[in-house]
Chain A
């Protein structure tokens, strides 16, 4: 795997100054993030659901693409850490009206922000901003094009660890549209980094990227073989536009081949857990009764999302206060 972004994401002490992709991080860092997130779990049952870790900090949610759950969980995470948070939903059409991404961000930087949480439809947008636009502001990548969605991957890792414990004994199968999935890319990197010995991807050749064999994975085109004895099954979302490009013939046929039914899930281990980054398409990727079954982690994943994002925001921000201390 590339170490493309090490020098952008980490400061000279190896601390996280941006959170852009899993690529370039290391096992210790990921484990520390997971441990920190564990310490935040259960906070929402306390009478006071806040800690003052980021008091006085201004965080800006900058979403150039629609999102409800990611944006609101980041907002909640920031509020639980006592930060001030601003939400900007910037449709790309607004930026094409004249003001460039560069100018939009420099304006926001001038408002004394400390951190940008960015979702953008272009792969590499978060790197571009961290590197060239506002290098003094912490950047959290909340999904860039098809490239990465590292906070989603981390909250999935948290769910897996809470339900399965030791990563080094697991077989994890990721099913569906790997080609267009930023979530899958980040998950594969995180699973590999945390020591999962067998990562499988299952999908038709049209939805797997070129040279995918260079990733630390095994490739399957049939669910039966791919799910065999799996501990964790991660279903990916299928988008309607995939049919228009003839990458698959129809939703119906996709469900027949790659939809997770009870019958297919039976190939996995009896205690296998089922995950999905959401939003789910019942009857396209997953049989409705599985989505609601005890094996499904779909809602529990959501429960992990605020603590995990709190851990990421707090860790990144702490590298900035460290930096100001004399060494």
Chain B
């Protein structure tokens, strides 16, 4: 922790949960926010950040980052991807367990914690595997994982060998008051598809993943959540019907939350037009009606958070025919400008967007966040009108698999502070 003082001035503080929407200065001492308000001109700080034209937001929190280390360092490392995270305004990221080895033992959790400390960028919260090797057969040692401080448990989209195993996993996780992240997908219905089963799958002859692959699994999961009382977070829902089902579950008082990945808010199946492998995604981007329903879900609070579903890949994993290419998009560094575009198009307002990147995910994982006196200074400062070119040269992520590569974007993170330390400055 730094012992210095930082003054952030001339910026606009936006933190809806703490009812802040004002031009004020912030002083950070010993890592913590100590003053929000008018600062006398005579005040001198060790470091001054001039945030003219910028918005000061709580740091972004991601619920689903695929960190490729350990095991897939050709795609990226904890160092490279946490640097990408802070360049994108993230102060906390939750990393998924689909690594080699899988995060199913305390040793892997500790390895990631150690590497993240060395990288010295943002906080990394590992998500443990519900079943050993994510094979869906045998429960991981969930209590040991809890002791090692995993933030949640998940089996991602890997199927359980039976509903009995899934039921047991949820009941046992509830015993230890763990949070479970469910990615509903019936693997048989998903049929090893690579795009939404709709217009483009028909035109391009690509195998489709039907919407019912998600909704059938979601219906089953919701019944089991009610049965077991598990705290369940549904990650990366992608269909209009899923939004309705989550809304109904919340109305019934089930302990559920949900997020959507940024890809599902920005793109639709139409974008696959040229067999562009950047759009080989899991879950797939679906029809326009689905995208609109997901935006509606964000605007009405049915969906609590937006996640990155960041998956960096090496060049050769994406430069092969569509179905054979690796799934995923590198997103951490472009999430802010791409979503700012949605605010300019009046699809979503800025406050809602920022809530879905900050307080929304914080609430799900039980962390406090926000710009408040006494809180550690985890902040993202961004200029919403700054135009820039996202390129292989200025990107930190090892994965260049982004449709935004070499595109002009509007809105850029200028500073990221983690626990009162400036870890990224433009």
Contacts and interface: CB of A to CB of B under 8 A. Distances in A.
Interface stretch (A119-127, A160-168, A262-270, A292-300): A119-127
Contacts of B274: 4-5, 8, 127, 131
A278 interface: no
Contacts of B275: 123-124, 127-128
Interface residues of B, number: 22
Nearest to B210: A210
Nearest to B277: A128
A124 B320 contact: no
Interface in A181-214: 182, 185, 209-212, 214
B167 to A, nearest CB: 27
Contacts of A210: 197-199, 201-202, 208, 210
A320 to B, nearest CB: 23
B322 A122 contact: yes
Contact of A102 (B210, B320, B322): B320
B316 A102 contact: yes
A94 interface: no
Interface in A104-157: 120, 122-125, 127-128, 131-132, 144-148
A145 B201 CA distance: 12
A23 B203 CA distance: 9
B294 to A, nearest CB: 20
Contact of B202 (A102, A144, A211): A211
B205 A185 contact: yes
A124 B280 CA distance: 12
A188 to B, nearest CB: 10
A145 B316 CA distance: 21
A8 to B, nearest CB: 8
A30 interface: no
B323 A123 contact: yes
Contact of A125 (B198, B316, B321): B321
Interface in A1-50: 1-2, 4-5, 8, 23
B117 interface: no
Residue among A148, A185, A209, A215 with the highest chain B CB neighbour number at 10 A: A209
Residue among B202, B208, B273, B323 with the highest chain A CB neighbour number at 10 A: B202
Interface in B261-278: 273-275
Contacts of A125: 321
A147 B207 CA distance: 10
A120 B198 CA distance: 23
A124 B199 contact: no
A126 to B, nearest CB: 9
Contacts of B208: 209-210
A145 B202 contact: no
B273 A122 contact: no
B206 interface: yes
Nearest to A23: B203
A145 B205 contact: yes
B309 to A, nearest CB: 23
A214 B319 CA distance: 30
Contacts, number: 79
Contacts of A67: none
A101 interface: yes
B145 to A, nearest CB: 35
A102 to B, nearest CB: 6
B320 A101 contact: yes
B170 to A, nearest CB: 30
A205 to B, nearest CB: 13
Contacts of B324: 122
B205 A147 contact: yes
A216 B275 CA distance: 22
B344 interface: no
B204 interface: yes
A100 interface: yes
Contacts of A214: 199, 202-203
Residue among A1, A5, A147, A182 with the highest chain B CB neighbour number at 10 A: A147
Nearest to B274: A4
Interface string A216-236: 000000000000000000000
Interface in B196-231: 197-199, 201-208, 210
Residue among A102, A123, A144, A145 with the highest chain B CB neighbour number at 10 A: A123
Contacts of A2: 203, 273
Contact of B321 (A1, A4, A128, A185): A128
B99 to A, nearest CB: 23
Interface string B295-329: 00000000000000000000010011111100000
Contacts of B321: 101, 120, 122-125, 128, 144-145
Given A102-B316, A145-B323, A123 B206 contact: yes
B316 to A, nearest CB: 6
Given A123-B205, A123-B206, A147-B205, A132 B319 contact: yes
B114 to A, nearest CB: 34
B199 A123 contact: no
Contacts of A185: 203, 205
Contact of B205 (A5, A132, A146, A215): A146
Contact of B323 (A8, A101, A122): A122
A148 B204 CA distance: 8
A193 to B, nearest CB: 14
A211 to B, nearest CB: 5
Interface string B46-79: 0000000000000000000000000000000000
A46 to B, nearest CB: 39
B273 A128 contact: no
B202 A209 contact: yes
A230 B97 CA distance: 57
Contacts of A123: 204-206, 275, 321-323
B198 A146 contact: no
A101 B320 CA distance: 7
Q: Which 9 A-B pairs have the closest CB atoms?
A: A146-B205, A147-B205, A124-B275, A122-B321, A209-B202, A125-B321, A123-B205, A124-B322, A211-B199
Interface of B: 197-199, 201-208, 210, 273-275, 316, 319-324
Interface of A: 1-2, 4-5, 8, 23, 100-102, 120, 122-125, 127-128, 131-132, 144-148, 182, 185, 209-212, 214-215
26 contacts: A1-B203, A2-B273, A4-B204, A4-B273, A100-B316, A101-B321, A120-B321, A122-B321, A123-B204, A123-B205, A123-B321, A123-B322, A124-B204, A124-B206, A128-B275, A128-B320, A144-B205, A145-B321, A147-B206, A185-B205, A209-B202, A209-B208, A210-B197, A211-B198, A212-B202, A214-B203
